[in-house]
Amino acid sequence: MRRVRQGAALLAAVAALAAILFLGLMPRPEIRTLGLMPEDLARFIDAQYTGRHVFGFLAFHLALLGLAALGGLALGPARRIRLAAGLAGFAIALELGQLPLPHRSVNFSDILASWAGIALAFVPTELLLRALARLRRPAPPPTPPPPADHAA
């Protein structure tokens, strides 16, 4: 059963990556073309040019964390940091991949917006996971009472 969950999580992660690549390399990327959310919300996000990058990478980061959890992959703090750094590098690569496309251009503000989305996903998730880890720690054993003084 675990292998099935891991396979499904990997397939979903590849689908999310394909969606990001599709939006990043198409002539007029619009989130509503994916049909993954209510039309009004998709229109609002599409109207906010920078919002598309923030929302896209925020959702992508959260999706990868969720898929890792569903797949039974334990992501410790170091792996979560590497995941965020990898996504930041992917954001740069995605922008640079637009250089040869005639209908697209590289925009540094797009990279910053993508990084903002990653940070908006990373920081609250990290705080939540650390708080949950503190709650899961077992309570320290009670200290025994000091020995009674019998000299009285």
Tens digit of pLDDT for each residue in 42-71?
A: 777 777 767 777 887 888 888 888 777 766
142 lies in a domain? no
Domain that holds residue 79: 2-130
- Confidence check: pLDDT of 22 > 70: no
108 lies in a domain? yes
Q: What is the pTM of this model?
A: 0.65
140 lies in a domain? no
Q: Name the band, by pLDDT with cuts 50, 70 and 90, for residue 17.
A: confident
So what's the pLDDT on residue 119?
Answer: 92
138 lies in a domain? no
Tracing tokens 């992508």 back to the chain, one arrives at: 60
Contact 106, 98 (CB under 8 A): yes
Amino acid at 136: R
97 lies in a domain? yes
- Among residues 54, 83, 64, 75, the alpha carbon closest in space to that of 12 is found at 64
- Confidence check: pLDDT of 143 > 60: yes
Domain count, the chain: 1
144 lies in a domain? no
Number of H helices, E strands in the chain: 5, 0
